[in-house]
A and B are shown apart, each in its own frame.
Chain A
């Protein structure tokens, strides 16, 4: 079939693979390309927030709407739904993706090829942030003609909240994907985490119509704090600093978790 192959590297101790920065760049590019080839994942990440924000914002935009802290209900939801995009990526897309890679030995192949241990996780976080930005833009572009976009009162705090939330939830997704045994289990755990977070943490009924028990429960959900860290500075209800601190704490804990759990 073949004669001598031109593949012999000798035995001197120099590395043969690309530099860590190049590997990271290639992983980001590859992962983004692969996401674009997953129509079901894209549909969930892009369409679910759009459809639900239209339904929920439309439902609570009536004259006799509950109290939204003096804010126009539709604009309240538009500002809240960035967190739904973040949750969809972090709790549904990332865990299944990571668990599937682990299950099929893809991460092991990356490790055996000399990819740094952190490279896949960092690439996933960057891809998560990029998707958050794009999916949020799509959601806002659909919502804007119908409900208008509320002015961003405190842009730096709003961006910080969104960015910290996207990184924290991608980290949570990495952690779930690193701990569960299979991709199917990751899907189950991810959806189990997503829907209560979505309903209680910002995408569901307004706090005014929730009972005390549900509101207390919502306070324990990381997504509630992401929602408030984005929405409060956006709508001028506050800086969202306390919520941002909680989100950053979640980010650190989940990042430490996957750093221990992710085995390339």
Chain B
């Protein structure tokens, strides 16, 4: 598989403040890779450097085979970009924005506008669009010229849940079409839903990278089994069950915390002890829990 983005030791300073500090990053063709981290982690600066919009202070990089510092202008014609905190002129209409940004080999505009729910808005001014419609227009513009790589920075910020889901569907459709996507976000659910791999940044450095599942396994390797024991079942010393680290009670409800192996042992013990509970639930940590552990100093479970 071709490598679309290859970055080694990327560094960027503003004055004496280092905002990107030795970042390595690889994105293969057809992947959706998420760049995650808290605000100020250096994510946006990194992707701006990769598009040649800012100059790096050190490191090497190739994006679509080009060096953004040297061939930024050419590179930007090949990358579809949705940027954080950027807008269009208030009085510019949707159709005019399309006409302004459209290249000679653009995707079919009618289909693209229809796919993003903007088909009836060609004559609507940018200022009259809702937040969700604006974001969808930015996505249309990012995809308009059939880019080799799409960079999406905080695409769903400020959207309501329904609009976010619509945008997620659009990005999944992109992946199905084979487009490579570099997604900057601080929404963990978004990364978990969309990304093949995530790269986690803190204070300008990459602190871990892998599939969302691998990150959860590494940094949140626990599980919780929740149930209400039937009154006729035998009493069990849950703390003695293999893999169990702790037990909580909330009224009649029992919460057994442990590592992933504990789930099977707890369930086996429930079967052995009598009638099985009817409300059994296994609570698995998500990417957010993993990243809280990873990004919060001293945070453990």
Contact = CB atoms under 8 A, between A and B. Distances in A.
Q: Do A and B bind each other?
A: yes
B77 A15 contact: yes
Interface stretch (A26-34, A154-162, A229-237): A26-34
Interface residues of B, number: 54
Contact of B74 (A6, A15, A27, A117): A15
A105 interface: yes
B145 A5 contact: no
A16 B81 CA distance: 13
A7 B86 contact: no
A257 interface: no
Given A26-B99, A108-B53, A5 B86 contact: no
Contacts of A6: 107-108, 111, 177
B83 interface: yes
B283 interface: no
Give the size category of A's interface with B.
35 or more
A106 interface: yes
A178 B255 CA distance: 60
B52 to A, nearest CB: 9
Contacts of B89: 30, 34, 101, 106
Contacts of A37: 91
B289 to A, nearest CB: 29
Nearest to B169: A1
A9 B77 CA distance: 12
- Main secondary structure, interface of A, reads loop
Interface of B: 2, 4, 29, 51, 53, 64-66, 73-74, 76-79, 81, 83, 85-89, 91-92, 96, 99-108, 111-112, 115, 141, 143-148, 166, 169-170, 173-174, 176-180
Given A7-B107, A8-B174, A27-B100, 20 more contacts: A3-B176, A5-B170, A6-B108, A6-B177, A7-B112, A7-B144, A8-B177, A8-B178, A13-B66, A13-B78, A16-B77, A16-B146, A16-B148, A17-B101, A34-B89, A34-B91, A38-B91, A113-B76, A114-B77, A114-B78
27 contacts: A1-B115, A1-B173, A5-B174, A6-B108, A6-B177, A8-B177, A9-B145, A10-B148, A11-B148, A11-B180, A14-B78, A15-B103, A16-B77, A17-B145, A27-B100, A34-B91, A104-B86, A104-B87, A105-B86, A106-B86, A106-B87, A109-B87, A109-B88, A112-B76, A112-B79, A112-B86, A114-B78
Q: Which 8 A-B pairs have the closest CB atoms?
A: A105-B86, A114-B77, A9-B146, A16-B145, A15-B77, A1-B169, A114-B76, A112-B81
